[in-house]
Amino acid sequence: SKGGADLLIYDPDDGPVARVELPGGAYPTDLVAAADAMLVTDMDRFEVYRVAADSLNAARFGDDRFRTRMADLRAERGRLDALSRWALAGVIAGAVLMIGAAAFATPREKRWTPVPPVFDWDAAPDRAPRTSGIHWLKRKPAIDRSLQWAEWLAYAAVLLPAFVLLGLWFWIREQAGPDAGADIETKLGELGLAMLILGVLLALLIPIIRMSLRAMKTRLGTDGRRLYIRRHDGREIAVDPSQLSYTDRMILYREYSLPLVGGKQQSIYEPGEVETWLGPLLREAQRLGPVEALKHQWRYSGSRQLWWFIAALVLAGAVIALVAAGILSFP
């Protein structure tokens, strides 16, 4: 069983005829014949016992040098076990801090209440104001300023953990030493694989960040009849309102997802700009719920964003499974 094991002597005809008494807590994992005795290994405790064939008495095997080596292996495993517990504690502490920071940043009266819509579409005028050309919606200056450094900051936030993980693995490898046993090497391999998958997961975030920032740089305008989209590369597209879809957070047109709301559930445009200039156009557009908007993005984005999202979920599940398996396999 998982909690313990017995070592029995079997006779081909009579079945079990004797039980070998091992030191308390010993868990026999492997047997090998050695002249007039047999050697029994306990891989959980890094012990080897010699069992005499005639008396079935068990005693610790090896000279002082061998036993010192076993003690060193036990110490190495203990260090890795401690590192594993500290790593798990760090992940839990980080999650608690993130949840606490999010709760602290949210006003007390809004922590347990649904977030109200940013825009009041029903209050929008029937017609957009007259304009001689294209009115480009005025964005909040803070949004444009933040976009100048947000991309580099986002990349740093992704790459820095990858370098930290790489440095952590080399540090753990150095702590294990060049003479680490096979069991320790196996654990290091599992840990390295988990970190590699986590690194790939972080790399998958880079194209998602890039596409999100490009969408944030897109400008919206109108001449009162059509919506104009100015892409990040300067190209402009004119769209009839009947071809648009929208939610409380974005406007959707084919493969374009045009955000209206940024962080902290705030409009990225100046107050009144969206309702006054886009509200009348969106009366002819189709309003979508969250699930319908997701289906729209799946249909028109070539599934790239969602495939990245699915791949990220799969990799995250693999990391969790590997880490859980590594932690559970320690004594």
Angle, CA of 132, 138 and 140, to the nearest 5°: 175
pLDDT band with cut points at 50, 70 and 90 for residue 330:
very low
Question: Is pLDDT at 326 greater than 60 in this prediction?
Answer: no
Domain boundary among 61, 76, 104: 61
| Stronger pLDDT, 277 or 56, i.e. the higher one | 277
Residues 43 and 155 in one domain: no
| Stronger pLDDT, 237 or 66, i.e. the higher one | 237
Residues 56 and 170 in one domain: no
pLDDT band with cut points at 50, 70 and 90 for residue 242:
very high
Domain membership of residue 141 (yes or no) is yes
Q: What is the mean pLDDT of residues 268-274?
A: 90
Which residues have a Cβ under 8 Å from the Cβ of 173 and sit 6 or more positions away? 188
Q: What is the mean pLDDT of residues 224-228?
A: 92
Domain boundary among 21, 44, 61: 61
- How far, CA to CA in Å, does 54 sit from each of 11, 32, 51, 58, 110? 15, 16, 9, 11, 78
- Give the chain's length: 331
Which residues have a Cβ under 8 Å from the Cβ of 89 and sit 6 or more positions away? none
Residues 181 and 285 in one domain: yes
Question: Is pLDDT at 108 greater than 80 in this prediction?
Answer: no
Domain that holds residue 14: 7-61
Question: Is pLDDT at 3 greater than 60 in this prediction?
Answer: no
Residues 309 and 236 in one domain: yes
CA distance 150 to 156: 10
Q: What is the mean pLDDT of residues 118-139?
A: 86
pLDDT in tens, 55-69: 778 878 878 888 888
Domain membership of residue 241 (yes or no) is yes
| Stronger pLDDT, 301 or 138, i.e. the higher one | 138
Domain membership of residue 103 (yes or no) is no
Residues 187 and 322 in one domain: yes
Confidence at residue 44, expressed as pLDDT on a 0 to 100 scale: 74
Q: What is the mean pLDDT of residues 279-283?
A: 91
Sheet hosting strand 37-42, strand order edge to edge: 30-34, 37-42, 47-52, 58-60
Residues 29 and 162 in one domain: no
CA distance 53 to 38: 7
Confidence at residue 29, expressed as pLDDT on a 0 to 100 scale: 74
Q: Alpha-carbon Rg of the chain, whole angstroms?
A: 32
Angle, CA of 55, 59 and 62, to the nearest 5°: 130
Residues 141 and 260 in one domain: yes
The DSSP bridge partners found for residue 267 are 261
pLDDT band with cut points at 50, 70 and 90 for residue 328:
very low
Q: What is the mean pLDDT of residues 105-124?
A: 68
CA distance 319 to 317: 5
Collapse the DSSP code of 278 into the 3-class scheme (helix H, G, I; strand E, B; otherwise coil) and give the result.
helix
Residues 290 and 145 in one domain: yes
Residues 128 and 262 in one domain: yes
Q: What is the mean pLDDT of residues 282-303?
A: 83
Domain membership of residue 135 (yes or no) is yes
Q: How many domains does the chain have?
A: 2
Domain membership of residue 85 (yes or no) is no
Question: Is pLDDT at 299 greater than 50 in this prediction?
Answer: yes
Whole-model pTM: value is 0.53
Domain boundary among 61, 82, 105: 61
Q: Other C-beta atoms within 10 Å of 330: how many? A: 14
CA distance 308 to 207: 9
Domain membership of residue 75 (yes or no) is no
Burial of 110 (0-12, 13-18, 19+ CB in 10 A): exposed
Residues 158 and 42 in one domain: no
Which residues have a Cβ under 8 Å from the Cβ of 219 and sit 6 or more positions away? 136, 137, 139, 229, 230
Question: Is pLDDT at 321 greater than 90 in this prediction?
Answer: no
Angle, CA of 208, 152 and 217, to the nearest 5°: 60
Best-predicted range by mean pLDDT (62-66, 161-165, 171-175, 263-267): 62-66
DSSP at 136: E
Confidence at residue 238, expressed as pLDDT on a 0 to 100 scale: 93
Q: What is the mean pLDDT of residues 178-199?
A: 72
Phi, psi torsion values for 34, nearest 5 degrees: -140, 95
- The first and second tokens of residue 222, run together, are 């109108």
Residues 163 and 241 in one domain: yes
Confidence at residue 327, expressed as pLDDT on a 0 to 100 scale: 46
For residue 277, the one-letter residue type is W
Question: Is pLDDT at 296 greater than 90 in this prediction?
Answer: no
pLDDT in tens, 20-49: 777 777 777 777 777 778 888 887 777 888
Domain membership of residue 144 (yes or no) is yes
Collapse the DSSP code of 135 into the 3-class scheme (helix H, G, I; strand E, B; otherwise coil) and give the result.
strand
CA distance 129 to 151: 35
Domain membership of residue 121 (yes or no) is yes
Question: Is pLDDT at 102 greater than 90 in this prediction?
Answer: no
In whole numbers, what is the pLDDT of the chain averaged over residues?
Answer: 78
Residues 286 and 193 in one domain: yes
